[in-house]
Amino acid sequence: MTAEGFGAPQKGAPKQPDLSVELCGVRLRTPVLAASGCFGFGRDMAGWVDLAALGGVVTKSVSLEPRRGRPTPRMAETPAGMLNAIGLQNPGVEAFCAGDLRFLADAGATVVASLVGRSPEEFGRLAARLDGEPGLALVEVNLSCPNVEHRGEVFATDPAAAAEVVAAVRQATGTPVLAKLTADVTDLVAVARAVVDAGADGLTLINTLLGMAVDTRTRRPRLAAVTGGLSGPAIRPVAVRCVWQVAQALPGVPIVGTGGVVSGENAAEFLLVGATAVAVGTGSFINPRAVVEVADGLERYLAAHGVGSPAELPALFKAER
């Protein structure tokens, strides 16, 4: 009746799968990461999960200077998901390096630092500042946060702008680079190809979808920022479609699938269509142990299907109905 043992893996399956995977040259303990913006900076979750046992922790996005974020209300519940307009609140890269990054490294976490800036030059300076920081395994370039002042800061809506940012980061760091893209575009494959050509080692698909909700009683937007990012199981089919499209077009490019992953089966869905790993986002808001429990569920799924490794799943996908 208590939390311990809830969702624990059921041992005794014929074959014990090895959950570890390689992402852009980095060995991950499991293919299940905590998604950016849905795990804070990791430190506040240390009481809920063993940070070292996770596939990785993608931090909340960090900018050069501290950002205060948007006014409240910042969140609205929607069918099978939620809207958020946090506005990239973060303490700035210096405080991040001195505090949260050091804490995560000491805790043995595999750290993916998410970077956000207002120009390619800012992204480059951020990447240079973080290059060589102990404990940093990868960087994720947040090209697609919808909660910014100007639509022009959503670099991932334009292949050339996205490539320019990734090239600046690529030049500034020796750490493997993931580019996080949005599905709010006409041709996602064109953006994906542009950032890979510019030096991205892998892709994270997808960010939240731009959405809006109105309180019909007050006749006001439910978010102070009016629009926000939609996340949760509501967007999972869109995310799976994006991973599938890009994996088809760019075989061999590692993809972290994210969007409404709340179970091992959800993770398997992304891996089957070509993702190397998945990231759990909004699921952690409902269940602080979601990242662990999704990995446990994936292990059970693999064992039940006689699959030895998550990396085998894409080849087992049967595309024809």
Partner 1 sequence: MSPVRELCEVLERRRVGAYQALTLVAPRIAEHARPGQFIHVLAGEDRSFPLRRPFSIHRVERWGGSGGPPGWSPGGSGGSGGPPGWSPGGSGAGLGAVEIVFDVVGAGTLALSRLRPHDVVDVLGPLGRPFTPPEAPTGCLLVGGGYGTAPLFFLATELRTRRCRVDFVVGAASAGRLLDAMEAKRLGHSLTVTTDDGSAGRRGLVTDQLPDLLARTRAGQVYACGPMPMLAAVSRVAAAAGVPCQVAVEEQMACGTGICFSCVLPLGPEEPTRMARSCLEGPVFDGTAIAWAELGHPELEKAVR
The residues assigned a catalytic role are 145
* Comparison of 175 and 258: residue with beta carbon closer to partner 1: 258
Neighbour tally for 93: CB within 10 Å: 22
Q: Give, as ranges, the residues between 282 and 311 that touch partner 1 (CB under 8 A).
A: 284-289
Partnered with residue 257 across adjacent β-strands are 205, 278
Rounded to 10 degrees, the C-alpha dihedral 20/21/26/30 comes to: -50
Per-residue x/- marks for partner 1, 96-135, CB under 8 A? ----------------------------------------
Residue 216 within binding range of partner 1, rule CB under 8 A: no
Q: Rounded to whole angstroms, how far apart are CA atoms 256 and 140? A: 10
Residue 262 within binding range of partner 1, rule CB under 8 A: yes
Q: Give, as ranges, the residues between 26 and 85 that touch partner 1 (CB under 8 A).
A: 38-40, 44-45, 47-48, 60, 68-69, 71-75, 77, 79-82, 84
Angle at 272 between CA 266 and CA 275, to 5 degrees: 85
**Closest separation in Å from C-beta 262 to partner 1:** 7
157: left (phi over 0), alpha (psi -120 to 50) or beta: alpha
**Closest separation in Å from C-beta 158 to partner 1:** 28
Neighbour tally for 82: CB within 10 Å: 21
Q: Give, as ranges, the residues between 267 and 286 that touch partner 1 (CB under 8 A).
A: 284-286
Residue 213 within binding range of partner 1, rule CB under 8 A: no
Helix (H, G, I), strand (E, B) or coil at 32: strand
Q: Which of 212, 233, 238, 312 binds partner 1 (CB under 8 A)?
A: 233
Q: Rounded to whole angstroms, how far apart are CA atoms 117 and 97? A: 17
Stretch that binds partner 1, among 129-137, 146-154, 228-236, 244-252 (CB under 8 A): 228-236
**Closest separation in Å from C-beta 137 to partner 1:** 20
Q: Do 320 and 40 meet the contact criterion of CB atoms below 8 Å apart?
A: no
Q: By C-alpha distance, which of 226, 162, 164 is closest to 188?
A: 162
Residue 232 within binding range of partner 1, rule CB under 8 A: yes
Q: How far apart are the first and last CA of the chain?
A: 42
**Closest separation in Å from C-beta 214 to partner 1:** 15
- Could you tell me the sign of the dihedral formed by the alpha carbons of 89, 91, 96, 100, in that order? negative
Q: Which of 26, 29, 89, 241 binds partner 1 (CB under 8 A)?
A: 89
Which residues would be at the binding site for partner 1 (CB under 8 A)? 1-3, 6, 38-40, 44-45, 47-48, 60, 68-69, 71-75, 77, 79-82, 84, 86, 89, 224, 232-234, 262, 284-289
